[in-house]
Amino acid sequence: MIKTHILGYPRIGAQRELKFALERHWRGEIDEQALEAVAAELRARHWADQRAAGLDFVGVGDFAFYDQVADHVLLFGCAPARFGFTGAETPLQQLFTLARGVATEAHDDCGCGHASHGKPALEMTKWFDTNYHYLVPEFDAATRFALAPDRLLDQVAQARTLGHAVKVTLVGPLSFLWLGKAKDGADRLALLDALLPVYCDLLARLKAAGAEWVQLDEPILGLDLPGDWSLAFERAYHLLHGAGVPLLLATYFSPLQENLSLACKLPVAGLHVDGVRAPEELRPVADWLPDHKVLSVGIVDGRNIWRADLDACLERLRPVLERRAGAVWLAPSCSLLHVPFTLAHDAALDAELRTWLAGAREKLNELRILKQVLTGGERAVAMDLAAARAALAARRASPRVARPDVAAALAALPPDADRRAAPFAQRQAVQRARFDLPAFPTTTIGSFPQTPAIRAARAAWRRGELADAGYDTAMRAEIAHAVRVQEELGLDVLVHGEAERNDMVEYFGEQLDGFAFSANGWVQSYGSRCVKPPVLYGDVARPAPMTVAWTAYAQSLTARPMKGMLTGPVTILQWSFVRDDQPRALTCAQIALAIRAEVCDLERAGIGIVQIDEPALREGLPLRRASRDAYLDWAGRAFRIAASGVADATQIHTHMCYAEFNDILPAIAALDADVITIETSRSDMELLAGFGAFAYPNEIGPGVYDIHSPRVPATSDMVRLLRKASAVVPADRLWVNPDCGLKTRAWPETEAALRNMVAAARLLRDEAGGGTVQAA
Ligand code: GLN
Ligand code: ZN
């Protein structure tokens, strides 16, 4: 028997209805009841989609007002004591307090995807290797669990009333604990014994409420788990098994490897595996999983937007079906949360491209077609199959995709194209002689405030109401203003301010061949926030310079060095939906080549310093340790290809933020950027200790203040941080800068903060006495 199901569906709504309702609610414009009504309507609509595609169950539990992990915190009654919930709050009030903190306007984003910090909301972090952010449960020795199932049971009841067969989706107990953060040295795993009875209770309640299956997501089975964690699985699932509702253990994102036999052995009714990320494990799982268990194969890619190659899917499924005597469930590889709702009618994509793509809704249809074919109903879907084959053939043959000129340019790159001509020490000497910067040189990360006026000008220009010339004049005025302010403040290395950029990836993608942009391809990032990743569909090429005119104009206004500002190849790759018909490494190398050309053009235009931002370098790291070196190799090479086309006297900066970098320091050093500016201020320079211990060889600008808060940092705070930094990094290699771009800030606080920052740098210079120039 073949069944179809999904692990989860996008909840934000085809027109982002949930986002807008949430934001109205937070502004006090609609009450909880009205918000709940929107949610109920969305769920009903999404279940109807699933039903229409012939799925055997609809999913309940994948809906969340903010985040599914936060829902589990309330479901298990383990909100941290510091929130001081008394029970007088409504569940929604509690949820939004966990998510947004108690201060109003807790959210403030710089484009890196994170909310502001220092507010008492739960921390956010990325869900495995996706761009979705979950709220991190906090555990401590006092953590207790108490089931609060009503909201979930209401949703089951809603689905049942609508006549649906229900499979409830939950995060499994081990993954839930793993994803949390233990405070005061508490041991997360030690909480398992207290948590399991609550899960058992919940499972029993779900069964009584009519759930036919419960899916327990344990994606941590795809990680390199410590022994005590993998051991705990058996104990946990023996207990859960007792609740009597059929359990589907769901794994995804990463191969099971050494956990494969464990996953097959656990006392559950079914196992879901990711046949897209780990196709090589389909056979062994089909062999190892006892015959009485259901094998659910994640066959349609839940992480990307390409229309499935149905023939290849069928080919992959056939031996599995044979081995399992025909009893297999088909599903997307993971929750469809990570793809847009639909791309089938997107107004901004051309008709041909649209036929190459599949959003969540189209993926449901792919499951329907596969099931039909495998159950002997191929005739009924002959037209669908033909359309899918034609689209795929067109994509394969398209001159928009494969460009011989790009392949030739890559092939022509000499093997040492990813190496600067001279080693760092020599470059440093040449650059110091050229720029003659003071000790503790000051700079910023690139962007200055994106004011309402800038946004309005861009919107008008995009609507066609402002002509190119008018837009150009407006942006030049902003650049001139930014340059004037920086000169007045006494910064040493200036930037043009990125007024003309909407987004650090989109700005480049829009000017590169091989990228397309949807009008409505939104994917939830966190809470009500959505991102619209570019679609990287073809070989990447740069038809014309992208930043040179703006940067050269900025340089023409000042005698100080103007830093050119580019987004790096790894970050552009990481924040796009990338093609699945060639390795990511190759796509990344193509982007690198385009950025390299831009770097060289900037140099030719007289720009002596170029920054290549790679905030997403860390997040591309594979979940499995064994795959990390290979990734760091090609990612690092891509960065260096972009950076290494210039003379020794040209100074290359890079910038990174929002991640734990200490575990990849050798790879960061291997980028061989002359200067790295890095976010450190929120962890009070802890990160820098890693740089010190590792003896990072090049120059470093540790962020000396947190740009995510409008608070103006005191000079003394920054002096203190810089002293701390000088203790671990030789002072003559330190730069002074904020920890990220300033685009989300307003001008008054920006000027005040930078004024204090420059004062801090001067103070340190004076203290160092004599050493007023970066020692050559
Ligand atoms: N240059 C970019 C800016 O200043 C860097 C943004 C980022 O790190 N995400 O906005
Ligand atoms: Zn940053």
DSSP string, 658-678: SS--GGGHHHHHHT--SEEEE
pLDDT of residue 773: 76
**158-193: b or e for each residue (b if 16 or more CB lie within 10 Å)?**
bbbeeebbbbbbbbbbbbbbbbbebeeebebeebbe
User: What residue has token string 């990094």?
Assistant: 729
Does residue 454 have a known ligand-binding role? no
Tell the residue nearest (CA) to atom 6 of ligand 1: 741
From the candidates 72, 272, 653, 708, give the one annotated as an active-site residue.
Answer: 708
> What is the 8-class DSSP label of residue 120?
S
> Does 119 score more than 60 pLDDT?
no
- Mean local confidence (pLDDT), 1-19: 97
- Mean local confidence (pLDDT), 600-606: 98
Q: What's the pLDDT tens digit per position in 266-293? A: 999 999 999 999 999 999 999 999 999 9
Beta bridge partners of 346: none
Distance of CA 67 to CAs 100, 427, 664, 731, Å? 12, 48, 29, 44
Closest CA to 660 of 634, 629, 690, 684: 690
Q: What angle do CA 6, 62, 306 make, to 5 degrees?
A: 45
By most ligand atoms within 8 Å of CB, the mutation choice from 493, 494, 498 for ligand 1 is: 498
> Does 294 score more than 70 pLDDT?
yes
Counted residue by residue, the chain has a size of: 776
- Mean local confidence (pLDDT), 641-651: 98
The rounded Cα 510 to chain-centroid distance in angstroms is: 20
**Sign of the torsion angle spanned by Cα atoms 676, 681, 687, 692:** positive
Which atom, in ligand 1's list, is nearest to the CA of 567? 1
> Does 326 score more than 90 pLDDT?
no
Q: Where does CATH 3.20.20.210 sit in the chain? A: 2-105+115-340, 423-450+491-768
Percent of the chain with pLDDT over 70: 96
Beta bridge partners of 357: 306
> Does 104 score more than 50 pLDDT?
no
Checking phi first, is residue 126 left (phi over 0); if not, alpha (psi -120 to 50) or beta?
A: beta
> Does 648 score more than 50 pLDDT?
yes
Contact in structure between 196 and 239 (CB atoms under 8 Å): yes
pLDDT of residue 679: 87
Measure 570 CA to ligand 1 centroid, in angstroms: 14
Measure 417 CA to ligand 1 centroid, in angstroms: 26
Q: What distance in Å separates the CA atoms of residue 529 and residue 508, rounded to the nearest whole number?
A: 22
Q: What DSSP line would sit under 579-604, residue for residue?
A: PSSS-HHHHHHHHHHHHHHHHHHHHH
**Sign of the torsion angle spanned by Cα atoms 298, 219, 96, 166:** positive
* Backbone phi and psi for residue 418, each to the nearest 5 degrees, phi listed first: -100, 25
> Does 80 score more than 90 pLDDT?
yes
pLDDT of residue 708: 82
> Does 107 score more than 50 pLDDT?
no
pLDDT of residue 663: 87
Measure 223 CA to ligand 1 centroid, in angstroms: 31
Measure 446 CA to ligand 1 centroid, in angstroms: 6
Q: What distance in Å separates the CA atoms of residue 17 and residue 204, rounded to the nearest whole number?
A: 33
pLDDT of residue 109: 44
- Ligand 1 contact via 610 beta carbon (within 6 Å): no
- Mean local confidence (pLDDT), 532-552: 98
- Mean local confidence (pLDDT), 655-659: 85
Tell the residue nearest (CA) to atom 5 of ligand 1: 741
Cβ count near 349 (within 10 Å)? 22
Beta strand ranges found along 133-246 (DSSP E): 133-135, 138-139, 166-171, 181-182, 213-217
- Mean local confidence (pLDDT), 189-199: 97
Q: What's the pLDDT tens digit per position in 39-79? A: 999 999 999 999 999 999 999 999 999 999 999 999 999 99
- Ligand 1 contact via 447 beta carbon (within 6 Å): yes
Q: What's the pLDDT tens digit per position in 214-265? A: 999 999 999 999 999 999 999 999 999 999 999 999 999 999 999 999 999 9
- Ligand 1 contact via 240 beta carbon (within 6 Å): no
Give the type of residue at 13.
G
Band of pLDDT at residue 625, cut at 50, 70 and 90: very high
> Does 115 score more than 60 pLDDT?
no
Q: What distance in Å separates the CA atoms of residue 526 and residue 114, rounded to the nearest whole number?
A: 8
pLDDT of residue 118: 42
Q: What's the pLDDT tens digit per position in 133-157? A: 999 999 998 899 999 999 999 999 9
Closest ligand relative to 571 C-alpha: 1
Lowest mean pLDDT among 193-207, 476-490, 628-642, 652-666: 652-666
Rounded to two decimals, what is the model's pTM?
A: 0.94
Q: What distance in Å separates the CA atoms of residue 769 and residue 773, rounded to the nearest whole number?
A: 10
Beta bridge partners of 274: 298
Contact in structure between 629 and 578 (CB atoms under 8 Å): no
- Please name the helix (run of DSSP H) or strand (run of DSSP E) that holds residue 119, with its range, or none: none
- Mean local confidence (pLDDT), 304-332: 96
- Mean local confidence (pLDDT), 464-488: 98
pLDDT of residue 709: 83
Band of pLDDT at residue 682, cut at 50, 70 and 90: low
Measure 448 CA to ligand 2 centroid, in angstroms: 13
Q: What is the token pair recorded at 61?
A: 């539990």
By most ligand atoms within 8 Å of CB, the mutation choice from 563, 655, 707 for ligand 1 is: 655
- Ligand 1 contact via 653 beta carbon (within 6 Å): no
pLDDT of residue 688: 79
Q: What is 423-450+491-768's CATH topology? A: TIM Barrel (3.20.20)
User: What residue has token string 């920086």?
Assistant: 486
Rg (CA), the chain: 27
Average pLDDT score, the chain: 94
Lowest mean pLDDT among 712-716, 747-751, 772-776: 772-776
25 labelled catalytic: no
CA trace torsion 232, 233, 238, 241 (10° rounding)? 140
Lowest mean pLDDT among 211-220, 329-338, 632-641, 680-689: 680-689
CATH 3.40.718.10 fits 2-105+115-340, yes or no: no
Beta bridge partners of 700: 676, 734
- Ligand 1 contact via 743 beta carbon (within 6 Å): yes
The rounded Cα 181 to chain-centroid distance in angstroms is: 20
- Ligand 1 contact via 46 beta carbon (within 6 Å): no
Does residue 305 have a known ligand-binding role? no
